[in-house]
Amino acid sequence: MDVQAHDDPREFRTAVGSWYSVDPVRHTLAITVMARFLDDPLISPVMLTAHRDGVLHGIAFRTPPWPLIISGLPADAAAPVAAVLAEVDPELPGVNGPRELAEAFATAWAARTGACLHEAMAGRLYRLGELLPPTVPGRSRRATKADVPLLAQWRRAFQAEALGHDRQAERTEELLLTAIERGDGLALWETGGRVMSWANVGAPIDGMSRVGPVYTPPELRGHGYGSAVTAAASAWARDAGAEHVLLFTDLANPTSNSIYQKVGYRPVFDICEIEFTPAP
């Protein structure tokens, strides 16, 4: 198998072609990251393609500090790609994707490098069926630039709660402003003039939008605000033309998995994020 590392995002896109867009549900994360961050001047992406007999067989890439995205990498390509990555990206922090593919790559990486493996998150991808908005006091509205200071605090809190650490903390405000300017649907739920909850949803790409993050401060939970704002963000995505409205959940959080199903989301497949640490 021939594995090639790419330095130029344009070259990488040409090599990838329509690989991801053929199945925008399975490759939701790869599609959105490629569209939003591959050309970011502050990021040096790591991009690889694997070919068999001259035909594209698999893809893996990441935008540091985030882990490797491998929804497009078959299990039989894991070992050859791990061998090349050990040379070009020896500090690889982890891998994210459908469980069977993530586990296959993590095993290959550990065998190549001796790294220790830790499952940082077990998750599930959901797709919206019939939207069932809950009845909750208040109303939804889209966020504006004036809301960025509050949402920056909430985004940092979400990262710390979900991942245990905040990736790209120094760019939080910038990323939120960029999302607003890009036309993403940053939905807020207000009651009595106070913002109670927030749900981000991306503008449609390849007929797909993904909701996330969804955040309600701990002291405001238990009143249905998260469900209401998720439904509002989902409705916005459909109105914007998304055929597939998706979201990821953390399986360790039974509350979120329950509320998303109540507003109409149905499971598609399980994912996981596995972290790598150097061998002792």
Q: For 111-141, write each residue's pLDDT tens digit.
A: 999 999 999 999 999 999 999 999 999 999 9
List, for residues 32-46, the tens digit of each pLDDT value: 999 999 999 999 999
268: in domain: no
Which CATH number characterizes residue 95's domain?
3.40.630
- What does the alpha-carbon distance between residue 228 and residue 86 come to, in Å, rounded to a whole number? 45
Query: Which residues are CB-contacts of 83 (< 8 A; sequence separation ≥ 6)?
Result: 3, 112
Measured between alpha carbons, how far is 218 from 214 in angstroms, rounded to an integer? Answer: 12
Using the predicted structure, report yes or no on whether residue 169 has a pLDDT greater than 80: no
Question: Which pLDDT value is given to residue 166?
Answer: 66
Q: How many domains does the chain have?
A: 2
Both 195 and 256 in one domain: the answer is yes
Indicate whether this model's pTM tops 0.75.
yes
Tell me, yes or no, whether 70 and 182 share the same domain: no
What's the confidence (pLDDT) of residue 279? 80
Q: Residue 104 belongs to what domain range?
A: 2-124+273-277
Same domain, 96 and 214: no
Strands 208-215 and 194-201: antiparallel
- Asked if 40 and 156 sit in the same domain, the reply is no
Instruction: Mark 192-211 as b/e (b = at least 16 C-beta within 10 Å).
Output: eeebbbbbbbbbbbbebbbb
In three-state secondary structure terms, 168 is: coil
In a domain, residue 10? The reply is yes
pLDDT at 49 over 80: yes
Q: Are residues 12 and 91 in the same domain?
A: yes
The CATH number of the domain holding residue 241 is 3.40.630.30
**Greater model confidence, 241 or 168:** 241
Tell how far CA 195 is from the center of its chain.
24
| Average predicted confidence (pLDDT) for the chain | 95
**One domain, residues 161 and 255:** yes
Q: Are 206 and 21 in contact (CB under 8 A)?
A: yes
